[in-house]
């Protein structure tokens, strides 16, 4: 079975009860607005997770390219994109996810995320590939 999964380029995580699988999930999870914005800029987000029970009132900076989002205009410029304006964080996250081919899953009600505790800022992402440290 592993050979067939590997041949398709897919990855499979079995979360129920297996500590190694939970560890792999945590390694493949970006958490909090800043980390998820960085992952979206790198087009590394496979699935965007937003907790509907957490209110996020912040705004973030966007560019004309949907995946280019950052907490500040300077961060966006440093990533090589010219800011086109600010947008509510949830709208910008959803726009960036759609623009980079990521799926979206609403979770929680403020209770728990996929790792058994609330997500930082109520925002998380399952990643297509790990990001380098400091990305």
Antiparallel, parallel or unpaired: β 103-107 and 45-51: parallel
Query: Model confidence over 37-53: pLDDT tens digits?
Result: 999 999 999 999 998 88
Contact 69, 41 (CB under 8 A): yes
pLDDT for the residue 100: 96
Cα Dmax for the chain: 48
Q: What is d(CA 96, CA 87) in angstroms, rounded to the nearest whole number? A: 11
CATH number of 2-127: 3.30.1330
Contact in structure between 78 and 69 (CB atoms under 8 Å): no
Q: How many CA atoms lie within 13 A of 102 on its CB side?
A: 31
Structure token pair of residue 60: 């973030």
Domain borders along the chain are: 2-127
Beta bridge partners of 89: none
Q: What is the pLDDT of residues 70-102, one digit of tens each?
A: 999 999 999 999 999 999 999 999 999 999 999
Give the distance, in angstroms, between the CA of residue 14 and the centroid of all CA atoms in the same chain: 20
Q: Which residue has the tokens 């907490």?
A: 71
Please write the tens of the pLDDT for every residue from 98-126: 999 999 998 876 555 555 667 788 898 88
């Amino acid at each position: 079975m592993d050979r067939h999964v590997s041949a398709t380029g897919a990855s499979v995580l079995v979360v129920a009860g297996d500590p190694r699988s939970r560890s792999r999930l945590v390694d493949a999870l970006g958490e909090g607005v800043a980390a998820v914005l960085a992952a979206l800029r790198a087009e590394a987000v496979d699935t965007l997770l937003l907790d509907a029970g957490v209110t996020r009132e912040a705004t973030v900076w966007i560019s004309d390219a949907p995946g280019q989002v950052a907490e500040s205009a300077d961060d966006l410029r440093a990533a090589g994109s010219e800011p086109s304006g600010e947008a509510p964080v949830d709208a910008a996250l959803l726009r960036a996810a759609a623009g980079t081919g990521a799926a979206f899953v609403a979770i929680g009600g403020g209770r728990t995320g996929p790792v058994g505790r609330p997500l930082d800022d109520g925002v998380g992402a399952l990643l297509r590939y790990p990001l380098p440290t400091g990305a």
